[in-house]
Amino acid sequence: MKNIIFIAPPAAGKGTISEYLVKNYKYEHLSTGEMLRDEIKSNSELGCQINELISKGNLVSDELITKLVEDRLKDLVKGKPFILDGFPRTLPQALSLDEVLKKYNITNNIVIYLDIKEDEALKRVLGRVICAKCKRTYNLNNENLKPKVEGICDDCGATLEKRSDDNAETFKVRFETYLKSTKPILDFYKDKNWLVSLEVSDNLNELLDKVINISNKNEAKND
């Protein structure tokens, strides 16, 4: 199966899709959000700086994110498919990632753009909760994505938490930033013939089928 680079605004569903691919197709999930949150939880000086940026809806520097991603990619078992979730978010990041992929001879890549309307994305953000232990994502505003027991993870029984940046004010900044930075990235991957766009709806199973089909069959020209 192909390596997948997800490009999507907040709450488009890339985390939920990634969880499914990891569980059923043995993908390695590389989430820059998780990398950054782990650094924040370490209470390091860098973690405090990152926390301040993220809490305001701003982006961390391209150099820092690229370094985090490169360190993870070079340690992957060769041939194991991976998902890049949350990176790249700017054209400079996309160009840097291209160099990293060439450096480690990582081919067979596809870019999937999840297109979602702002009002639907906000609804999802306000209902999102995440397992503190295994990081599974749930949504209280979607009957199909609610936990079986309120506040408890179905998989490991740990407590569910709401991310500090999942609020309307921060979401607006994040979404506007996303819109400004995304078009050049989409154009870049379209020119490389890597890009596939999918419209997001409430039918999760249908969306999953499309992603799996793309990963299995769609030809991506890596140059």
Instruction: Quote the CA–CA distance of 15 and 34 in Å, as a whole number.
Output: 11
Does the active-site annotation cover 89?
A: yes
Closest CA to 68 of 40, 104, 30: 30
**Type of residue numbered 132:** A
Whether residue 136 lies in the annotated active site: no
Number of H helices, E strands in the chain: 8, 8
Range list of H helices, the chain: 14-25, 32-41, 45-55, 62-74, 91-103, 118-127, 168-191, 204-217
Residue of 72, 162, 163, 190 marked catalytic: 163
Options 2, 124, 135, 174, the catalytic residue: 174
Nearest to 88 by CA among 186, 196, 160: 186
Q: Among residues 14, 124, 135, 136, which one is catalytic?
A: 14
Q: How far apart are CA 211 and CA 204, in angstroms?
A: 11
Q: Is 197 helix (H, G, I), strand (E, B) or coil?
A: strand
Catalytic residue among 37, 128, 135, 136: 128
- Point out the catalytic residue in the list 37, 89, 135, 136: 89
Sheet holding 28-31, edge to edge: 28-31, 82-85, 3-7, 109-115, 195-199
Is-catalytic flag, 172?
no
Give the separation between CA 66 and CA 103, rounded to whole angstroms: 13
Q: Catalytic residue positions?
A: 14, 89, 128, 163, 174
